[in-house]
Amino acid sequence: MVVGDASLDIDVVVIGAGPGGYTAAAKAAQLGHSVIIVEKEELGGVCLNVGCIPSKALISVAHTYETMSHAADMGISANDVKVEFAKVQEYKNSVISKLVSGVGSLLKGNKVQVFRGEAMFISENEVRLFNEQESPRYRFKHCIIATGSRPIELKTFPFSGRIMSSTGALSLSEVPKSLVVIGGGYIGMELGQVYAKFGSKVTIIEGSDTILPGFEKDLTQLVSKNLQKYEVDVFTGAKAEGAEQTDKDVTVTFSVGGEQKKVTADYVLVTVGRRPNTDGDLGLDLLNMKLTDRGYIEVDNQGRTSVPNIYAIGDIVAGPALAHKAYYEARTAAEALSGMPSIVDYKCIPLVVFTDPEISSVGLSETEAKAKGMNVVVGKYPFSANGRAISMNATEGFVKLVGDKDTGLVLGCQIAGIEASNLIAEIGLAIEMGATLEDVYLTIHAHPTLGELTYDAAEMALHKMKKK
């Protein structure tokens, strides 16, 4: 109970309870601070509720459905395999519920106060929290802003009716007969492929020359090949121009190669990027906080903003909008405000796309390393030569290990294939610790496992180095 309008004292205020926010709050509390975290929606933020977790739940279900439907080569015949999408959504929601509950337990266990509502800065040391019942003021020593991001909404494709963002696509009540995806980045590709596996006729419209721009073509070509299996129509170098909705469908007009085309579908999913949540009523203008032209908060290598006792992490600072980047920045900021010399080092952020096949990348690609003038050696090994992959009937893909030919240092790795999301961690560790190709090769990998692929790729690279 707040008496009058006096300010309460707290060590740390965290605004936003997504992956960055709840991690920062828990870490700050573990370091001995009194902490309150503010969240206007659900604990866990976008990632747990309408992003990473629900999308991966649907991806897992779609993969199981596909496996059951096409397991005859492995001696399993399943007749009349059906998707009961209402139950699929129940399963997805149960996954979300478990993880959101876990976040609540984490905060409670670390004695972090949770305020359900919004926050607005009054000064660089004071914030007002408010909801429909109360509006207390808190005077803080430090603040961590972790307000996340939201999908970019195009003027010609406003989110309404049958035009939806990823949030809407994750909550459909039934599998659409047809779906147009505008944007062939990782979100569009993941969700587009999910619904294609469930039986939707999917059309993808991407402005760049290739799907999944930013990844090397030998990775994306495998995804493109699989899209053909599901009869997905992909238009690259295309521009979506407008849409006309009825009660039953929506028609998209787009141009490609100088020709105008139209496609009609049950729904349109727009996934053209995300926008940082820094333009609301948070009161950053009152603090004269420095922002970039794109609305990101400027921070130093500890996450400190232009207001020294206020930090910013996650999607509202420059860099990829990834939960694991937010976790990393959260720990750094909590340690920094506690006086520790922690700083961020972004040379080794893994990038993962949960398409079929999965693709992942960490460190430098071959192209990037050569652009930096490095003497590059590459070891590339196929899944089709790996015993575990063969036994799983999952032989599509490869591991490509990039090294410095002069020093032997591991520079990067790109993987396409089953479990690429898990395999990439080993090479991330190798880069962080300054390991060489020989270190990877001399590490005994269990047999038969997919992990042997990195060993084999390292051996291939070392063989090339010996042939100087």
pTM: 0.95
Secondary structure element (H or E) that encloses residue 181, with its range: strand 178-182
Helix, strand, coil abundance in the chain, percent, nearest 5: 35, 25, 40
Is residue 189 marked as binding? yes
Q: Which of 33, 324, 447, 463 is catalytic?
A: 447
Residue 436 tokens read as 């060489």
Cis peptide before 448 (omega within 30 of 0): yes
Residue of 334, 331, 307 whose CA lies nearest to 127: 307
Same domain, 221 and 299: no
The DSSP line for 289-301 is: --B-TTSPBP--T
Q: Which domain holds residue 414?
A: 357-466
Residue 380 labelled as part of a binding site: no
Gap between the Cα atoms of 355 and 192, Å rounded: 9
The length of the chain is 468
How do the pLDDT tens digits run along the chain, 468 residues long? 344 467 899 999 999 999 999 999 999 999 999 999 999 999 999 999 999 999 999 999 999 999 998 888 889 988 889 999 999 999 999 999 999 999 999 999 999 999 999 999 999 999 999 999 999 999 999 999 999 999 999 999 999 999 999 999 999 999 999 999 999 999 999 999 999 999 999 999 999 999 999 999 999 999 999 999 999 999 999 999 999 999 999 999 999 999 999 999 999 999 999 999 999 889 999 999 999 999 999 999 999 999 999 999 999 999 999 999 999 999 999 999 999 999 999 989 999 999 999 999 999 999 999 999 999 999 999 999 999 999 999 999 999 999 999 999 999 999 999 999 999 999 999 999 999 999 999 999 999 999 999 999 999 999 999 876
Q: What dihedral do alpha carbons 58, 64, 65, 68 form, nearest 10°?
A: 180
Is 192 annotated in a binding site? The answer is no
| Statement to judge: residues 264 and 279 lie in one domain | no
Same domain as 92, residue 17: yes
1 falls within a domain? no
Q: What is the CATH number of the domain that holds 264?
A: 3.50.50.60
Query: What CATH number is associated with residue 389?
Result: 3.30.390.30
Active site residue 463: no
The residue from 325, 346, 367 where one domain ends is 346
User: What is the number of domains present in the chain?
Assistant: 3
Is 56 part of any known ligand binding site?
yes
